[in-house]
Structure 1
Amino acid sequence: MPTIDFQGASVTYDGTTVLEPLTARLTERRIGIIGSNGSGKSTTVRMINGLIEPSTGQVLYDDLSPAKHGRDIRKRVGFVFSDAESQIVMPRVVDDVAFSLRRFKLPRNEVRSRVDDALARFGLSHLAENSPHTLSGGEKQMLALASVLVIEPDTIIADEPTTLLDLRNRRRIVRELTSLDQQLIVVTHDLDMLRDFERVLVIDEGRLAYDGTPSDAIAFYTDLMDAKP
């Protein structure tokens, strides 16, 4: 598994500290990050592939810094946002998946093969010619996954991937994510999703409040939320 090193990484905006210096090494295959809204969870994971730059310290992905090696890291780290609509960039479903491969300079036949495989894997082949904006919420999230998995990344980061989904689509997304061979980091309020993960971090008010097994971390988080006014 890849190694992700947070080395005193903090984030400050306009004089306000969003994330206090964080030091942690992530090497597990299944990692969850939980915390209340605005606690700094998304900020934490967005530093991994350079979507956000730390104000102090650094984050290394297999000893590579996003500041210097962002292009290489983004070829290895796929990011799935909670609002799949924000990842749609092309007029057709098939083009949207193919767009993810533009930086790899692959032969046309390999691009087509990868795209076809990704669409088939997520049950989207029959929608290939459709506008992504006409898809249901669940189908859009499947498209987002297809667009990430088509690049064959080593790590997938999913930032609240089930937030906008109904129960049926939530279960499908959880099933797809947890069956992946790659390293998976999930930011979520869906605590049940994390029961079989290897490690869960609790972020509270911009700091790492707990780091441990899912059962212990979820118990800590639940008690923490119960104690808040």
Structure 2
Amino acid sequence: MPPKQYEPTTTPAGTDEAEKVVQPVTGYRLILPAEWAQIPLRQGTESAVRRIIEEAHTRIPADAPSDKIGPYKREWERRFRASVANAQKNKALDLYLPVRPMGDANIGASILVTESLVPRAPGRSRDTSEPTEVAVQLLSRDGVEDADLSSGEIDGAIAVRREHVAGASVEQGADLASRRVEYMVSVPGDPDRWFVAAFSTVGGGDPRDELAEALVEWFDAVMANFRWSRG
């Protein structure tokens, strides 16, 4: 899949000829199974949505009763478009959904990719511990409690991981509670910009069931293989 474009405000380059020049980050790469589809949310959204809907229609058995299939298709498309519209409201970059069955099951899960810009005040310290502190503050500002937080590195960049269970919210279109895992990664060469990948699943109907556990482990593996695109 093509990398998503960022516009880094600075390009790291040393004045010492012996220092290695690092190419600026221009995007990212996620390796996902064929069952997952990418929906860009800033350009090309409608064409991606139409392609997914048309493909979904081709998987409906030809002998299926038309009086039942018609309402099913309309409801599926309504829910699908609502998910995309909700992601766009969050000013996200991309939405990834499992649009094809994985084995014999339809997986209730999603990955939403966004970015966050945190301008630094003039003269603000840039010590090595600060990026992690900034990420934790950003993840804490939505009022989520009882979350598991950890930090480390992903493809050479500082990253903070948060995991929690979000309750159902009919007002926001969430009929069931969901298990959520977010990775916030500092964009190399642009310390004020953060890449955010937010995974959500309802599991098999319980966000703490075995399916949810397996999907969380799967998403952790996806992020372990996350790579920046450069130059």
- TM-score (norm. length: structure 1): 0.30
Who wins on radius of gyration, i.e. which is larger?
Answer: 2
Work out which structure has the larger RCO, using CA pairs closer than 8 Å and 6 or more positions apart in sequence: 1
TM-score, length basis structure 2: 0.30
Q: Which has the higher helix share?
A: 1
